[in-house]
Structure 1
Amino acid sequence: MQASFVIDLGNKSQIPIISFSATSPDLNSIRSPYFFQATVNDSSQVKAISAIIQAFGWRQVVPIHVDNVFGKGIIPYLYEALEEVDARIPYRSIISPRATNQEIEIELYKVMTMQTRVFIVHMGPDLGSRIFRIAKEIGMMGEGYVWIITDGMTNLWSVIDRSDVDYMQGVLGLRNYVPNSKELKRFEKQWKLKFLQDNPGMGNAKFDIFGLWAYDATTTLAMAVEEVFGTTNFNFDAANVSQNGPTLIQALSRMRLKGLSGDFGFINGQLESPIFQIVNFNGNGENGIGFWTPNHGLVRRLEVTNVTRYSTSKGNLGSIIWPGDPQSIPKGWEIPINGKRLKIGVPMQNGFTELVKIALDNSTNSTTFSGYCIDVFNAVMNVMPYHVPFDFYPIKLGEEETYNNLIDEVVYGNYDAVVGDISIIANRSKYVEYTLPFVQSGVEILVPIRNDVDKNAWVFLKPLSWDLWITSICFFTFLAFVIWVLEHRINEEFRGPPLHHVGTSFWFSFSTIVFAHREKVLSNPARIVVVIWCVVVFILTQSYTASLTSLLTVQQLQPTVTDVNELLMKGENIGYQIGSFVREIVLGLKFHPSQIKTYYSPQHLEELFTKGSANGGIAAAIDEIPCLNVFLAQHCNRYTTLKAPTFRSGGFGFVFPKGSPLAADVSRAILEFIQSDRAEEIENPLKRQPICSTTSGSTNNLSLGSFWGLFLIVGVAGVLALLCYAIEFLYGQKDVWCKCDTGISMWKRILQVLRNFDQRDLTSQAFRQRELKEEGSIEVIRVRGDVETPVNAPIETLDEEPNDIRTATESREIDIHHANTNSS
């Protein structure tokens, strides 16, 4: 207030006003060009405070400040800085500068009954010392508490009585950093000698930061005056207005010097952004644990130059002695022993009692809460690292109300949390704090299933798609052609009339379906092709058998509706659970309002399906997966679900107020609960039976895409076999191609090659073995007089008449001998 008055005088007389004690941010609003604030503005330390809060993960902070301009000026900036690090201020404790000890004690007791245990004290050292003395007496300086003081007290540490230091053990403080320099040490020594000479009775004289700012400000002013005026005097006009004030302002703004307090200079009438040292009060003094700089955030030492980004890591700070000397970092909040019990709201609903059930007993005037969601919450609270007292309260929703109204109850502070089948939705998370989901969720479409066993006479064609049928037939034909080409010249079974060629080749190819081919394959390339093809046929037939079995048995589980668009085209009705957020989804699907029905329980949903759309019922329902699982557990063999890929939700979670630190601890407890055996012990009605698994409604036939690799292998093998055979055969016909007789045309040569291809290959191994066999064979005959009779029996079986046995060669020789005798 004094500064505002003096600044007004400076504006009127156009004389620069330099203050080395006023730190309130409110002075910025005056915007006087003649005012120079030679101190660090209180608002500059809020970034350092928020960095500490963020480093330790505290989510709520209670400022305790003096009730004057100095105390209130920092609050708006503190709100803004904490909001940036996702922390909030649930309450402001305002202390009058003339408050009695009893009034301070009452206020601190009020703060003590709250959950928050992180306090920021912003006031002078006299009032601040009283605050800590009383806090120590009532037990607020023990384990679990966090106290942070601003530079309003830390900068004036020298004036705090030594006896009051014992009450501040474990407190964190911010002070303006003053670099150690030879000039500073020499000045302090000279000043102390001068001070003791002038004040012999005062032995404990210290020079604080305000004295350094005053010295540097005076030095800067002197330099500016010498630059502008030299040895001349100030000039005033008749109205007592300085004629040299504007020039002096410009000179002051340009001045930069290495002062006792560090780099000193004015930017827009204020000092440059300072560096704050973070200290921890313990023992009989203070211990520096780190620094905060505007560019690098929290750092352990200022000499570190490899820091390239802003950091809020607590690892950059030294060891800290917390209040009560605990071994672990305070979590920043706790449920007060003498505080109120948490008021937990539970939605009251008529259906889906497997999730949440509220039973009212009028005789005992008591209420029982049960269901899967309640069981999970109780189990999670049991694994919390500390005791959390709470009570359940039923919340009844009106006919037009949705679960969004439950969120409003938490936002308005009517309940400390809400527990139930509450989905995690993005727009709700803007106003409340969700825990991690304890049930994974989503949205699906529920439809009836029909007994659709296909009794069509042509059902056997459905296992394979048309492209696969056509491809298979083409490859059977291709195989017949390959085998005929490779076997025609060497295999008698693939020779004969043309129709016999074709019939045998196709018979051989298609008989591989049942592996009934009996024709021998003589060439090695043909054998390789046949082996590969048999493997492909085996895989294809087995897949066909499995698919046909599926069509004749599982096909009865096909849904009556395949997607939402089909419902729209047919004009069918659709349902959703009353109060659910799914209502917004249904309204966005462009259904006519008359087509939208609501249900409140599984029984009601079954009634709507039984009626059907034509009688005012529904053909499908859209709901969250956990609710649909409850319904399917009762009607598993009559309904199924379809995936709704465009509909998503974050699952079921517990709801807490925005910024509540309890939400984070409950989330960790949920993870611990899910990973424990306790999760398996709680009966989960949301587990879907295997027969109720989601079906896509797609056909079961096999497509070419599943087998094209096999066909590719067969095709490559067949083409390579043909190519190798063609090269070998045409090379053997080089005499036909190279005839020099010009009278033979190319067409005749081609015909000659084809005729040669149609002839037997007598040089082949098959025909050579046959010729050798015929040449080495014998015919056994019986000779009785002049009659020779063939004997169709092995030689060794005719041993009883050895003299009558002769070979065919011998008989011919005998005939020739007789003929020669007769002729001769």
Structure 2
Amino acid sequence: MEKPTNFILCVCLCFFLASAENSSTKATNAFHVGVVLDLGTSVGKTGRTSISMAIEDFYAKHSNGTTRLVVHTLDSDNDAVQAASAALDLLKNREVQIIIGPQKSSQAAFVSDLGNKSQVPIVTFSATSPSLSSTRTPYLVRTTVNDSCQVNSIASIIKAYGWREVVPIYEDTDYGRGIIPYLIDALQGIDIRIPYHSMIPLSATNDEIMEELYKLKTMQTRVFIVHMTSPMGSRLFPKAKVAGMMSEGYVWIMTDGLANVMDSLDPSVIDSMQGALGVKPYVPKSRELRDFTMRWKRRFQKDNPSDQLTEPSTFGLWAYDTVWAMAMAAEKVGVGNASFEKPQNATDLTDLDTVGISMNGPKLLKAILESRFRGISGDFHLVDGQLQSSTFQIINVVGRGGRGVGFWTPQYGLSKELNQSMTKAYSTLMTDLYHAIWPGESTAVPKGWEMPVSGKKLRIGVPVRDEIREFINVERDPITNITTVSGYCIDVFEGAIQRLPYAIPHEYVPLNVQGQGSRTYTDLVYQIYLQEYDALVGDVTIRFDRSLYVDFTLPYTESGVSMIVPVKDNTNKNAWIFLRPLSMELWLGSFAFFVFTGFVIWVMEHRINKEFRGPFLHQLGTIFYFSFSTLVYAHREKVQNILSKFVVIIWLFVVLVLTSSYTASLASMLTVQQLQPTITDVQDLLKNGDYVGFNRNSFVKDLLMQLHFDESKIRAYDTPEEYVEALSKGSKNGGVAAIVHEVPYIKQFLAQHCTGYTMIGPIYKTAGFGFVFPKGSPLVPDISRGILNVTDGDDILEIEKKWFGDQNACLNQGSTISSNSLTFHSFWGLFLITGVASTCALTIFLAMFFNKNWHEMRNIDHDKSISRRLISCLKYYDKKDENSYTFRREKTNDTNSDANVNCQGITDIEASLNGDDSQNQLSISNYSDGNSSQQEEKSSSPELAGPSGEA
């Protein structure tokens, strides 16, 4: 029994050993990967260490894998041709399935073509140039961030600090030039000007670099964007410090090409970068990253004892994640079809002809592009063949490294801290960043530009016209040949310059704008756009079409276009002038209220006031006389009703206001109104077909054409004397009816011609005069603030008085003071008050009257009805005595007779009224209502006479 048992154990042991051997053989299937790096650079060394650690970590965690990466590393030695040669060797002799690298963008451009030809994925973690396109080279995969992704973050920083001009400094390589078009687009989108591009070749000597820096130093711009690799950047910054350009007032912003490798730079280089800003992709903190960093330091020190790196750069983290993605793709695809198909028509003339096509290439490319996992650098996610990163960290070089001052994201812009639940709007505010330490250890934000100490003076053009010497006056000394420029515009400009916190060396260049063939003001403005001059100071109007290619300061004069027109003596000598103070509607309205008020007083007074009684015409006259006599407060009728007195008081107040206003208006018409303009509206000129004038050098002609003036009706003049002559002739005698000009010129004209002319308008709005500077000039906001300082105080009054004299005195003489007729609209409130008061008083009076007399009227009507019935029934009565009658009942046996129906009823009724029990007695005197007219009616009626004919 022991032998069979031992035999079984031996068989099982062999089976397990065979299975383990097969498993071991399966796990060690080689997957060849090539690596092409510049091993002499910090990025190359960092990448090599990260790749080795990534392979170890991946297979330590995935011990049951079917493949294992076998890395073949070659040095490209900082040369694009060498990189291509190394890649070709890997493809031809090693038949690698994937190539990691090359390191630089210029190298990747060569190697990517080999990848397309052999269908071998070329995966680079450090070639960031936007010129590399996955569309043109589909087998090029970048596990790094495209440089164009960071330009918006840089633009946001510049906008946050309010800088208006920047100068990019970049190396003359594919990497350096690739970002420039994207950077220009981002800066132009926020109206940032780039006055100069500084491109430094890789072959530049130290002297050539210094020469370029001194050239930059002579310019005004003090904001520089540096886009270089670490070798070139390590040469630039120490030279900038020597040139004095790392001092207060300068701004240096580094792209991620330098910001990513800050820790790998020499300490002396970092010391020369103090105060610079940088942007780099943000790597979120994690426990895995912290553990990897500690292990990486030990491994790097072991591999490179002479280097003093403190932590891996972002490129090292991307290299680590890249290897994990390659290993995962290798596991997914396997090595079952890892051969290369040799070209059928190979000539073997060059090594390129012998490169085969990888059978696994398309599957590997797809597996790599679909890789998605959480790496130590963050989410590994490829879109369009490159890594996606949406967050950039902004660092400030202080001490031995970069201090974080904020973050930038596409959704929220700038922010001090990252918060996944942020709901704020997109920000480009400086307050959303921590305070930075600037070059020269300054905490004050540089304004971004300075006047160069050794630079040339600003060449400022000034327009010269003889007819406006008050604005610009140019005089040349015949002995010294020195040109002196003065005038109102110059004084305002100099006043603004003196209020700046820095000096601006400048010189004035006279520019002629008069005579045949001379340049117009628009031509002069365009010269600023062409940078023929640094600024233009003079009587230049701010216009929209000019602002498209230059910048204007704030205006320093009044705005608008008006007309100069003659005035005429309009002293009133009309016999009916006394009717003009009130308009027709006010005359009619006043008359209506006079009549209405008189009628109300009559209604309330005629029953109790004998002065308001009499014949109809007498009472009608009383109404009119009483109302109109209130004008002189001389009515003789005395009112008695309290409501009448209330109405009279209100009406007297209205009359007082009316008469006072009438008197004042009439006095103004007879004494003050002496001058009237001949033209009051530009439409009058068009309607009458008059000629109009304008200054030959002004833009007003275009304005008149826009207002539909016929070109034949427009006449050009040059001097104020010509204006006077043309206006004195008039439109019908070879002159003009009006001169259309800008307000500052009109004020100057009226200051010299105090009488006979006035200003009408403005008829068109303009922005006034402003100083002209190139588009995006940093001088514009400072000069504008200086102008506000001058115009807000008494200085501007002194300057105006110096060049124009006392303008107010002359302008007042030429002013037109017009007294127009008073309208009903001006007094409708008064008429409303008196109308409501009179109506309410009349309503109250009538209500009281009807309430008091209602019962009395009913009794009178009843007595009148009984009297009429008695008169008709007396024939049925016999006279008993002088005052008594006896009803003859025997004559009224007919029950249907009138006497039985009507007269008997009266007897019954009157008997009860008299309190008499008798039905046959009726006292006629009891029916008397005390009204003498009714008694007279009864006694005079023939039906009341007795048999003897007595009453």
Both structures adopt the same fold (TM-score exceeding 0.5):
yes
Deviation, 1:199, is 5.0
> What is residue 181 of structure 1 aligned with on the other side?
286
Query: Normalized against structure 2, the TM-score is what?
Result: 0.75
> What is residue 44 of structure 1 aligned with on the other side?
149
CA deviation vs aligned residue, 1:25-69 (integer Å, no higher than 9, x gap): 111385333322111111111111111111111111111111111
CA distance in 2, matches of 1:29, 1:386: 51
CA distance in 1, matches of 2:816, 2:182: 56
Equivalences for residues 10-89 of structure 1 within 5 A: 10-28=115-133, 31-89=136-194
Equivalences for residues 641-656 of structure 1 within 5 A: 641-645=759-763, 647-656=764-773
Q: Which amino acid aligns with 2:560?
A: G
CA distance in 2, matches of 1:168, 1:730: 105
> What is residue 549 of structure 2 aligned with on the other side?
431
Q: Which has the larger radius of gyration?
A: 2
For structure 1, which runs of at least 5 residues remain unmatched after alignment? Answer: 749-824
CA distance in 2, matches of 1:683, 1:590: 35
Q: Give the 3-state SS of the residue equivalent to 2:639 in structure 1.
A: coil
CA distance in 1, matches of 2:134, 2:364: 22
Deviates more, 1:338-347 or 1:13-22: 13-22
> What is residue 475 of structure 1 aligned with on the other side?
593
Q: Which amino acid aligns with 2:194?
A: I
CA deviation vs aligned residue, 1:558-583 (integer Å, no higher than 9, x gap): 21112222212222110111211222
Equivalences for residues 604-623 of structure 1 within 5 A: 604-623=722-741
- Which of these residues, 821, 845, 848, is aligned with residue 701 of structure 1? 821
For structure 2, which runs of at least 5 residues remain unmatched after alignment? Answer: 1-105, 344-355, 869-951
CA distance in 1, matches of 2:798, 2:268: 58
> What is residue 679 of structure 1 aligned with on the other side?
796
- Which of these residues, 219, 231, 234, is aligned with residue 338 of structure 2? 234
Q: Which amino acid aligns with 1:260?
A: I
Answer whether contact 1:341 1:389 (CA < 8 A) is retained.
Answer: yes
CA distance in 2, matches of 1:200, 1:166: 23
Answer whether contact 2:262 2:402 (CA < 8 A) is retained.
Answer: no
Q: Give the 3-state SS of the residue equivalent to 2:461 in structure 1.
A: strand
CA distance in 2, matches of 1:658, 1:407: 11
CA distance in 1, matches of 2:624, 2:668: 31
Cα separation, partners in 2 of 1:522 and 1:342, compared to 1, 3 Å: same
CA deviation vs aligned residue, 1:745-780 (integer Å, no higher than 9, x gap): 9xx9xxxxxxxxxxxxxxxxxxxxxxxxxxxxxxxx
> What is residue 715 of structure 1 aligned with on the other side?
835
Aligned length: 744
Deviates more, 1:203-212 or 1:114-123: 203-212
CA deviation vs aligned residue, 1:664-689 (integer Å, no higher than 9, x gap): 11011111222333333323439752
Deviation, 1:232, is 3.5
CA distance in 2, matches of 1:395, 1:110: 30
The alignment status of 1:152 with 2:257, answered yes or no, reads yes
CA distance in 1, matches of 2:808, 2:793: 23
> What is residue 405 of structure 1 aligned with on the other side?
523
> What is residue 400 of structure 2 aligned with on the other side?
284
CA distance in 1, matches of 2:167, 2:457: 21
CA distance in 2, matches of 1:282, 1:739: 115
Deviates more, 1:548-557 or 1:144-153: 548-557
- Which of these residues, 689, 694, 699, is aligned with residue 571 of structure 1? 689
- Which of these residues, 705, 708, 711, is aligned with residue 593 of structure 1? 711
Answer whether contact 2:296 2:311 (CA < 8 A) is retained.
Answer: no
Q: Which amino acid aligns with 2:177?
A: K
The alignment status of 1:251 with 2:370, answered yes or no, reads no
Aligned-pair identity in percent equals: 50
Deviation, 1:302, is 0.9
> What is residue 539 of structure 1 aligned with on the other side?
657
- Which of these residues, 648, 669, 672, is aligned with residue 530 of structure 1? 648
> What is residue 381 of structure 1 aligned with on the other side?
497
CA distance in 1, matches of 2:582, 2:359: 102
The alignment status of 1:726 with 2:846, answered yes or no, reads yes
Cα separation, partners in 2 of 1:55 and 1:204, compared to 1, 3 Å: closer
Q: Give the 3-state SS of the residue equivalent to 2:546 in structure 1.
A: coil
CA distance in 2, matches of 1:479, 1:313: 71
- Which of these residues, 468, 488, 513, is aligned with residue 352 of structure 1? 468
Cα separation, partners in 2 of 1:159 and 1:503, compared to 1, 3 Å: same
Q: Give the 3-state SS of the residue equivalent to 1:91 in structure 2.
A: coil
Deviation, 1:699, is 6.8
Answer whether contact 2:665 2:819 (CA < 8 A) is retained.
Answer: no
The alignment status of 1:293 with 2:409, answered yes or no, reads yes
The alignment status of 1:333 with 2:449, answered yes or no, reads yes
Cα separation, partners in 2 of 1:110 and 1:303, compared to 1, 3 Å: same
CA deviation vs aligned residue, 1:429-472 (integer Å, no higher than 9, x gap): 11111111111211112211111223221111111111111000
Which structure has more relative contact order (CA 8 Å, sep 6+)? It is: 1
CA distance in 1, matches of 2:282, 2:378: 8
Deviates more, 1:135-144 or 1:244-253: 244-253
> What is residue 776 of structure 2 aligned with on the other side?
659
Q: Give the 3-state SS of the residue equivalent to 1:515 in structure 2.
A: coil
CA distance in 2, matches of 1:221, 1:101: 42
The alignment status of 1:190 with 2:333, answered yes or no, reads no
CA distance in 2, matches of 1:596, 1:347: 25
CA distance in 2, matches of 1:171, 1:9: 40
> What is residue 212 of structure 1 aligned with on the other side?
317
> What is residue 39 of structure 2 aligned with on the other side?
none
CA distance in 1, matches of 2:799, 2:361: 81
Cα separation, partners in 2 of 1:494 and 1:201, compared to 1, 3 Å: closer
Q: Which amino acid aligns with 1:467?
A: E
Q: Which amino acid aligns with 1:234?
A: A
Q: Which amino acid aligns with 1:412?
A: L
Q: Which amino acid aligns with 1:133?
A: P
CA distance in 2, matches of 1:500, 1:119: 103
How well do the aligned residues superpose, as a CA RMSD in angstroms? 2.4
CA deviation vs aligned residue, 1:730-750 (integer Å, no higher than 9, x gap): 2233146546969989xx9xx
Q: Which amino acid aligns with 2:478?
A: N
CA distance in 2, matches of 1:199, 1:413: 54
Answer whether contact 2:459 2:534 (CA < 8 A) is retained.
Answer: yes
CA distance in 1, matches of 2:651, 2:366: 97
Answer whether contact 2:263 2:309 (CA < 8 A) is retained.
Answer: no
CA distance in 2, matches of 1:79, 1:238: 46
Q: Which amino acid aligns with 2:659?
A: T
Answer whether contact 1:39 1:213 (CA < 8 A) is retained.
Answer: yes
- Which of these residues, 426, 429, 433, is aligned with residue 313 of structure 1? 429
The alignment status of 1:489 with 2:594, answered yes or no, reads no
CA deviation vs aligned residue, 1:707-748 (integer Å, no higher than 9, x gap): 111111111111111111111112233146546969989xx9
Answer whether contact 1:7 1:32 (CA < 8 A) is retained.
Answer: yes
CA distance in 1, matches of 2:306, 2:444: 46
> What is residue 677 of structure 2 aligned with on the other side?
559
Answer whether contact 1:559 1:697 (CA < 8 A) is retained.
Answer: no
Q: Which amino acid aligns with 1:493?
A: E
Deviation, 1:481, is 0.2
> What is residue 415 of structure 1 aligned with on the other side?
533
Deviates more, 1:249-258 or 1:686-695: 686-695
The alignment status of 1:136 with 2:241, answered yes or no, reads yes
The alignment status of 1:689 with 2:808, answered yes or no, reads yes
Q: Give the 3-state SS of the residue equivalent to 2:459 in structure 1.
A: strand
Query: Normalized against structure 1, the TM-score is what?
Result: 0.86
CA distance in 1, matches of 2:811, 2:740: 16
CA distance in 1, matches of 2:724, 2:862: 93
Q: Which amino acid aligns with 1:255?
A: S
CA distance in 2, matches of 1:362, 1:114: 36
